[in-house]
Chain A
Amino acid sequence: MSSVPTQSWVMPAVALWQREVQRFLRQRSRVVGALATPVVFWVLVGSGFGRSFRGGDASEMNYLEYAYPGTIAMILLFTAIFSTISIIEDRREGFLQAVVAAPVHRSAIAFGKIMGSTTLAVFQAVLFLCLAPLAGVPISFFPVLAMVGACVIVAIGLSGLGVMIAWPMESTQGFHAIMNLFLLPMWLLSGALFPSSGASPWLGWVMALNPLTYGVSAIRGTLYYGQEGALAGGPSLVTALLVSIAFAFAMTVAATMIVGRKR
């Protein structure tokens, strides 16, 4: 027979990334859903809490503005998680069986999926950025660019986490349980809604151990780069970025290992 193709790592990863984006753009409800939920949440919670949220380090900004970086983290979380849930559907609908039987290294599968999910998450976050002026968030070119970079790092970590959870799962129900018990609390206790400075000591510890705390701080810190008190008592920008990068790296490695296992 003619040309037996050589094993490639990049092409399969690119193929899976491309498919993720194509699917997303085709399912309009997903584009709207992943964006609308956080926006509604942000407006309702932001307006509702606004009056009771006074004092602390964040006294200079209104609550809508305080919750803005946290909402971006929520968008990243939702999009990354929902797009990695599709692994379960892919398995059920059969697409995945052809992928795992192809001459493709498993790490390329994990990487393609993480990159696809990261692309969608960051794309949604950038859409949400268009609402920044409404929140009174100052927008200028370099901080926004840096923030998009921070979003990429955070999204890689969350996508890796999503792949890790979704790969061994048989049904999406299980994923929803994990979403409610683990991922939502992770977001709630990330400094997205309230700073750790106001929390009780044990909660402060939980928040300090929560990787997403550093993600939210990285987003907040880049967006308000150079502004005193913007981090509202959270970790410093350098710490936040370093921890987020480490988290992204660890999750990518862990996801690759789980995908590499034979089921």
Chain B
Amino acid sequence: MPEDTNPIIEITSLTHRSGDRTALDNVSLGVERGSIVALLGPNGGGKTTLFKILTTLLTPTSGAASVGGCDVVLNQADVRRRIGIVFQYPSLDKTLSVAENLTCQGHLYGLRGSNLRQRIASSLDRFGLTDRARDRVATLSGGLQRRVELAKSLLHQPEVLILDEPSTGLDPGARATLMDQLTELRDQDSVTSLLTTHLMDEADRCDRVAVLDLGKLVANDTPDALKSRIGGDVLTIQTKSPGELAKRAEEKFGVKAVVIDGVVHIEREKGHEFVPDIIEAFPGEIDSVTVGRPTLDDVFLQLTGHALGDESQEGDKGESR
């Protein structure tokens, strides 16, 4: 098969309004075949709206999007056959067993007979669920249920996997396993994954990160390239009154200081040389200072002017369901 270099997902000037709220504002984005892309942003940033448009559940106000060359509005059925969907909240029937859920899914996608049985057996094997096949989904842990969810979405062997906040309700271990599985799918079957997330560490493990804020695409790059946009180091300062210290540090040193989760962040060239200055400037007030390379948190802050978890910046978060 010749290498197809066209983006497998193409989003062109996509806009979606509901009422007077603009959930997506002229977003254009291409996703390369065989990559894992994170759509990063706060709740209400437009991620879920984009997820719904790409999964054909919502018709955009204007603009276009296509998956594998099929338009999500004009060619709905073809798009649906090409994508596997993992929803934020489980879509499994908890009263049925793992195998029964997969069988039902297979039938919905027109699979049957020995072909379906084979696919179920191999996907159970791949996700380490073979010995749980007859167990009811309700008896499985959250992490295992997510694995069934993933197995279910892959049963019809889609080229593209679209995941909405896939780590919801998962502990860090299960979250890491999920990312490993997406990586394996990419490497072995060249499955493209597009996932929405509000978690930096998750975005950090993806090939590319597209940052959505207030309906606008504010960046689209590799995690490393995004981090290198911040030239210097980042100092994180633990203190009892972070708000006040940030303000005074800004006045005294002319730097930008921001409070994230009660910790003061200051971006600065040659951060280690700045450490003694800041400790001497506020004697007895600082509990600890750490100098580090910038994280995606810092990148997000620089791009949008507010922290990812900063609820007050989001305005009306009523993302249309």
Contact = CB atoms under 8 A, between A and B. Distances in A.
Contact of A98 (B56, B85, B157): B85
A103 B95 contact: no
A3 B116 CA distance: 12
Interface stretch (A9-17, A73-81, A146-154): A9-17
A15 B105 CA distance: 8
A2 B82 CA distance: 11
Contact of A99 (B56, B108, B112, B157): B108
Given A93-B94, A97-B91, A103-B77, A18 B104 contact: yes
B80 A103 contact: yes
A97 B111 CA distance: 19
B93 interface: yes
**Interface residues of B: mostly helix, strand, loop or mixed?**
loop
A94 B100 contact: no
Indicate the member of A1, A27, A262 with the most B CB atoms within 10 Å. Answer: A1
A7 B77 contact: yes
A103 B81 contact: yes
B108 A102 contact: yes
Nearest to B96: A22
B80 A14 contact: no
Interface residues of B, number: 34
Given A2-B157, A103-B77, A103-B81, A11 B91 contact: no
B81 A11 contact: no
B109 interface: yes
A256 to B, nearest CB: 17
A104 B108 contact: yes
Classify chain A: how many residues form its interface, as a range.
20 to 34
A3 B119 CA distance: 12
A127 interface: no
A95 B96 CA distance: 11
A101 interface: yes
Interface string B253-286: 0000000000000000000000000000000000
B208 interface: no
Contacts of B105: 98, 102
A150 B26 CA distance: 57
Contacts of B55: 101
Nearest to A12: B108
Interface string A1-38: 11111111001101110110011001100000000000
A94 B157 contact: no
B94 A12 contact: no
Interface string A26-52: 110000000000000000000000000
Interface of A: 1-8, 11-12, 14-16, 18-19, 22-23, 26-27, 93-95, 97-104, 262
26 contacts: A4-B81, A4-B82, A4-B156, A5-B109, A5-B110, A7-B77, A11-B108, A11-B111, A11-B112, A14-B107, A15-B108, A16-B104, A18-B107, A19-B96, A22-B100, A23-B96, A26-B95, A27-B95, A97-B87, A97-B89, A98-B85, A98-B87, A98-B105, A98-B108, A102-B105, A102-B109
